[in-house]
Amino acid sequence: MTTLKLKPGAAAPSKTPGKSPVRRADPAKRSRTTAPEYVKAPRVEIAEAKPAPAVQAERKPRPAPAKPGTAKPVAKREAHQAAAANKKPYAKKEERPRQFADRDTPRRGGKARDGFEQGTFNQDRNTNPKFSSKPAPSQPELPRLSKRMAELGLCSRREADDFIANGWVTVNGEVVDVLGTRVAPDAEIKVSKEAQKHQSEIVTILLHKPVGYVSGQAEDGYEPAVVLVNPDNHWDEDPTQIVFKRGHLRGLAPAGRLDIDSTGLLVLTQDGRVARQLIGEDSTTEKEYLVRVTGTLSEDGLKKLNFGLSLDGVKLKPAKVSWQNEDQLRFVLREGRKRQIRRMCELVGLTVVGLKRVRIGSVVLGKLPVGTWRYLRPGERF
């Protein structure tokens, strides 16, 4: 055990653990509880040169500030009135002539004290020119150039707008680059070599669509048929010998539909002319199908399939329907309603168990295997 010895006069250590010992107050130092007494130093006067009494300006006594709610001193009020009397008046702005004098005065928007004069608005649509309709286009009976180019089969209307904007179209030997230009029906329209080169670079693909793929956008978990257009599924016997490029997929769209449960020829194209020919409003291209059915078909039912049925309240165009064998019908249509063949067969008591498209126009499916594709040949036409 060790013994701690303290020096005489030293403070005893604190018994409280963790706290430092308290120091005794030093009387020589200032107290922390009372403010110190400051002694004001005597002011030292510095002699300065004062101006002569004759030169020094006599100071005027400063008026006492006015209390709130009292009037200004009379002298100060008179000074303000004198200053206001000597002040020059503002120059009046030069009056400008009113613009658009032909317009009617609005019913609201001004005050009488500012010189506003109330007017009357002419609400008669027959006499007020403000209600006149837009001017009729010049020569409205003439077709637009883009529409005429599509009718002649030179390109689609969308492509025609691009060709016109690029200056690739001539009408009667003159270049036309203004959209919306109207031309005579007998006008000579030509496209330049640049436009023909652009058209030669776009492709049309023929695909043998298998069951389980949709024609357009993916839906209900089914993939679109365009996913099959890749180098692995390119038909080895393609007579065109065109090398596949990724650019051939840009803008590739189906020209016609095939149901998920249907198979056969599906056309995918970048060419607006082909799309217009196959699915345009005035399209008359034939489409041939082989349809396997179950049920009994009477002679009257076969006549109705050829002509006499309506879907959604619209009468169908005449079709060519005949027996291919004991359980298979051959359909040739010139229109393409949604699930048209299946709904036609239901109206005459038949059930479709298989449907295959084998021809579009003059292009046949031929020996193209299921799930493969080929390019449309340069001289091949629908």
Q: What's the count of helices (H) and strands (E) in the chain, helices before strands?
A: 7, 14
Residue 49 CA: distances (Å) to CA of 46, 52, 141, 213: 10, 9, 105, 111
SS (H, E, C) 288-337: EEEEEEECCCCHHHHHHHHCCCEECCEECCCCEEEEEECCEEEEEECCCC
Q: What is the pLDDT of residue 251?
A: 85
CATH code at 145-201: 3.10.290.10
Q: What is the pLDDT of residue 24?
A: 67
Which of 174, 175, 153, 156 is CA-nearest to residue 164? Answer: 175
Class of domain 286-360: alpha beta
> Who contacts 251 (Cβ-Cβ below 8 Å, separation ≥6)?
270
**Distance between CA atoms of 363 and 34, rounded to whole angstroms?**
114
Kindly list the catalytic residues. 259
Question: In the block, which residue shows the tokens 């608005």?
Answer: 121
Please state the domain extents for the chain: 145-201, 202-284+362-377, 286-360
Per the CB < 8 A criterion, the answer to whether 143 and 185 are in contact is yes
Question: Residue 78's pLDDT is what?
Answer: 76
Query: If you ran DSSP here, which 8-state letter would residue 198 be given?
Result: H
Q: What is the 3-state secondary structure (H, E, C) of 352-366?
A: EEEEEEEEECCEECC
Torsion of CA 344, 350, 354, 355, to 10 degrees: -20
State residue 94's pLDDT score: 66
- Please list, in sequence order, all residues whose beta carbon lies within 8 angstroms of the beta carbon of residue 209, skipping any fewer than 6 positions away: 215, 225, 228, 258, 262, 263, 264, 265, 266
- Domain 202-284+362-377: give its CATH code: 3.30.70.580
CA 108/CA 344 separation, integer angstroms: 66
DSSP-assigned letter for residue 131: G
Residue 198, Cβ density class (10 Å: 0-12 exposed, 13-18 middle, ≥19 buried): middle
Cβ-based burial of 161 (10 A; exposed 0-12, middle 13-18, buried ≥19): middle
**pLDDT at position 361:** 93
Domain pair 145-201 / 286-360, same fold: no
**Phi, psi dihedrals of residue 287, rounded to the nearest 5°:** -130, 125
Q: How far apart are CA 360 and CA 265, in angstroms?
A: 8
CB 376 within 8 A of CB 363: yes
Confirm if 209 and 347 have CB atoms less than 8 A apart: no
Please report the pLDDT score of residue 22 as a whole number: 62
pLDDT tens series, the chain, 382 aa = 556 555 555 555 555 555 666 666 666 666 666 666 655 666 656 555 555 555 555 566 666 655 555 555 667 777 777 777 776 666 656 666 655 555 555 555 566 676 666 667 777 777 777 776 665 555 667 889 988 988 888 888 888 888 898 899 999 999 998 888 899 988 999 998 888 887 778 899 999 999 999 998 877 788 999 999 999 999 999 999 889 988 898 889 999 889 999 999 999 999 888 888 898 877 889 999 999 999 999 889 999 999 989 998 899 999 999 999 989 999 999 988 889 999 999 999 999 999 999 999 999 999 999 999 999 998 888 8
Amino acid of residue 34? T
- Which whole-number Å values give the CA distances from 341 to 214, 288, 310, in the listed order? 17, 11, 12
- What pTM was estimated for this model as a whole? 0.57
User: Which pLDDT score is estimated for 228?
Assistant: 95
Give the pLDDT of residue 2: 58
